Amino acid sequence: MVSLDDLERIRLKLESATSFSAIFGMIAGSQDSAEMLQTLKRRFSYLAKIVHPDHAPSSLQKKATETFKLLDLVYEKAQIAIKNGKYDQEFNEMSLSQNTFTLKSNTDEYQCEAAPFRIGDLSRIYSGVGSANNKVLIKIASSPSKNPWLDKEAQFYRFNQVRFLPSVLDSFLIQNGSKKFRAIVFSNPGTNSYISISDALDAHSSGIDPRDAAWMSRRIMGQAALASAFGVVHTAINPDHVLLDLTSHDPLHIGWVHSIALGSTLRYLISKWKSLYPPEVFAHRKLDEKSDVYMAAMTIWLLFGKDLVPNSLDKFLTQCINPSSARRPPAYRALDELTRIIRSEWGRVYRGKFQMPNN
């Protein structure tokens, strides 16, 4: 578990260091660059485990994310320094001020911000602009072994070009030495207007107004219904993967890199959200749409807080997380019943723009 002391210690080291060796330690110059990069990777991995937001309590999520982003950026620059034979130089001898990098595909050129916008379990996402000055988000596999996951995701989005899903503009491989990394370019819906359920929970630590939680919960269960319509199991319905427009309340459903065919078993579990997965995952049984209903219901409970759920909603959510998949409602019936309960408890009226601090 990440602690505040560890975060502050490593953040101070990152901000006050004048050389890479002050952060990652000395690396013997007698090693060739490949060996030096392996040594650097081991030391980065050690620090990353200490500060990674997946291992942080909710109260430290924001600080852990910021610290991990900074560590990740310094690690990338340290790799470049090793390749250029400048690892041991002080920062005032080599500039670390480069805030952007350029990626080229066969169809366009993208100027990207150096610090990741989001760091996922399989990839990193960067904000950028295309050659026409159009805003984009570029998702890059965290390692070549993750390329097949992103290949599958790009194919999914191209096959399912519908409202409330990200729009793919480009997909290409990035050559980095002998390794290749898959990149997917999405149109940027406006990172200032969309928030995740996680963002909302973090910003309102004392609780979200139930009238807001009500319309948000329909967006969450809507993801299960959408997956059912596509004939897949999403398998990763959680607070990170439902985005909401603050003003229009429209959702943007993400995380489809984890989706699997109906009747398949789960290949990859997100450790951060382990408590949201249904029993059939841990029993290695085949999953169906009701597995998504379970995860959606667990996420809705996180959104409301179990003590604030009215009896009618509590009874419904309890049915959705029945240990027996056969006793849970199918996705579209669950969405219809949730809608009926919400309108009975809070009516049909939205409360206007959802308020976030500093927004």
Judgement on whether residues 229 and 120 belong to the same structural domain of the protein: no
The letter for the amino acid at 30 is S
* CATH number reported for the structural domain that contains residue 123 in this entry: 3.30.200.20
Tell me how many domains the chain contains: 3
Judgement on whether residues 215 and 106 belong to the same structural domain of the protein: no
Give the three-class secondary structure for 30: coil
User: For residue 95, is it within any domain?
Assistant: no
Judgement on whether residues 118 and 205 belong to the same structural domain of the protein: no
* CATH number reported for the structural domain that contains residue 30 in this entry: 1.10.287
Kindly report the backbone phi and psi dihedral angles of residue 333, in degrees, each rounded to the nearest multiple of 5, phi listed first.
-65, -35
pTM assigned to the model: 0.73
Which residues pair with residue 253 across a beta bridge? 242
Give the torsion sign (CA, 147, 148, 151, 156). Answer: negative
Nearest Cα to Cα of residue 83 among 94, 68, 70: 94
The letter for the amino acid at 88 is D
Q: Where does residue 317 fall: left (phi above 0), alpha (psi -120 to 50 degrees), or beta otherwise?
A: alpha
Per-residue confidence of the chain (359 residues) as pLDDT tens digits? 777 788 888 888 887 777 888 888 888 665 677 888 888 888 998 888 888 888 777 778 788 888 888 888 888 888 888 877 777 776 544 445 456 788 889 999 998 887 777 777 788 888 888 888 888 889 999 889 999 999 999 889 888 888 888 889 999 998 877 788 999 999 876 655 678 888 888 877 777 888 888 889 999 999 999 999 999 999 999 999 998 887 788 888 989 999 999 999 998 899 889 999 999 999 999 999 999 999 999 999 998 887 778 899 999 999 999 999 999 999 999 999 999 999 998 887 666 666 666 54
- Tell me what pLDDT residue 95 has: 47
Judgement on whether residues 160 and 198 belong to the same structural domain of the protein: no
User: For residue 137, is it within any domain?
Assistant: yes
Locate all alpha helices (DSSP H) within the chain, ordered by sequence. Answer: 4-16, 21-24, 33-51, 61-83, 147-159, 197-203, 210-230, 279-282, 289-304, 311-320, 331-346
Q: Which of 83, 116, 149 is the last residue of a domain?
A: 83
Which residues pair with residue 119 across a beta bridge? 124
User: For residue 228, is it within any domain?
Assistant: yes
Judgement on whether residues 278 and 249 belong to the same structural domain of the protein: yes
Judgement on whether residues 244 and 303 belong to the same structural domain of the protein: yes
10 Å Cβ neighbour count for 314? 15
User: For residue 318, is it within any domain?
Assistant: yes
| Cα–Cα distance, 91 to 113 (Å, whole number) | 20
Whether the CB-CB separation of 223 and 237 falls below 8 Å is answered with yes
Q: Where does residue 85 fall: left (phi above 0), alpha (psi -120 to 50 degrees), or beta otherwise?
A: left
Judgement on whether residues 202 and 297 belong to the same structural domain of the protein: yes
User: For residue 358, is it within any domain?
Assistant: no
Judgement on whether residues 220 and 298 belong to the same structural domain of the protein: yes
Judgement on whether residues 63 and 112 belong to the same structural domain of the protein: no
Judgement on whether residues 58 and 156 belong to the same structural domain of the protein: no
Which residues pair with residue 136 across a beta bridge? 128, 187
User: For residue 283, is it within any domain?
Assistant: yes
Judgement on whether residues 316 and 210 belong to the same structural domain of the protein: yes
* CATH number reported for the structural domain that contains residue 315 in this entry: 1.10.510.10
User: For residue 147, is it within any domain?
Assistant: yes
Q: Which of 30, 50, 83 is the last residue of a domain?
A: 83
- Domain hosting 73: range is 4-83
Judgement on whether residues 208 and 119 belong to the same structural domain of the protein: no
User: For residue 359, is it within any domain?
Assistant: no
Q: Which of 83, 118, 140 is the last residue of a domain?
A: 83
DSSP state at residue 355: P
